[in-house]
């Protein structure tokens, strides 16, 4: 069983940066594809980015060129570096892990990101 814990959220001004972390406990981290999702008030949860077991990355068009996802398997952690933040990036950010079978799906509790002047 895997537990995921997000951290690194906070309040930042437009144009600023934050780095979110998704730390995993338990075994099997290296077998997981990890994705970041976000949910703004009154909106559905949306996919933001993901990184495969092998390190391949994908991004939503809305964050491409501004966000960078990476993983450190030695630390059982995935990072989301967010630059040039905009007010519309304000949301609760969640990480999700999916194992090779697709049956093992794990969510973190979320971390709040607020972009405001």
The pLDDT value given to residue 28: 86
The per-residue pLDDT string of the chain (117 residues; one tens digit each, 9 = 90 and over) reads 799 999 999 999 999 999 999 999 988 888 899 999 999 999 999 999 999 999 999 999 999 999 999 999 999 999 999 999 999 999 999 999 999 888 999 999 999 999 999
* 8 A C-beta contact, residue 19 and residue 67: no
Cβ contacts of 54 within 8 Å, gap of 6 or more: none
Rounded Cα distance, 84 and 65, in Å: 9
Rounded Cα distance, 71 and 103, in Å: 22
Q: Phi and psi at residue 63, in whole multiples of 5°?
A: -120, -5
Task: Find, among 91, 103, 95, the residue nearest to 34 by Cα.
Answer: 95
The pLDDT value given to residue 75: 95
The pLDDT value given to residue 48: 98
Rounded Cα distance, 84 and 66, in Å: 6
Task: Find, among 72, 78, 67, 69, the residue nearest to 22 by Cα.
Answer: 78
The pLDDT value given to residue 61: 98
């Amino acid at each position: 069983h895997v537990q995921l814990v997000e951290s690194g959220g906070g309040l930042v001004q437009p144009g600023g940066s934050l780095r979110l972390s998704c730390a995993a406990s338990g075994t099997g981290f290296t077998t997981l594809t990890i994705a970041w999702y976000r949910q703004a008030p009154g909106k559905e949860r949306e996919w933001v980015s993901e990184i495969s077991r092998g390190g391949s990355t994908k991004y939503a068009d809305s964050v491409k060129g501004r966000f960078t996802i990476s993983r450190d398997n030695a630390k059982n952690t995935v990072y989301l570096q967010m630059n040039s933040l905009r007010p519309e990036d304000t949301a609760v950010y969640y990480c999700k892990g999916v194992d090779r079978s697709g049956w093992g799906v794990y969510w973190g509790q979320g971390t709040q990101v607020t972009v405001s002047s």
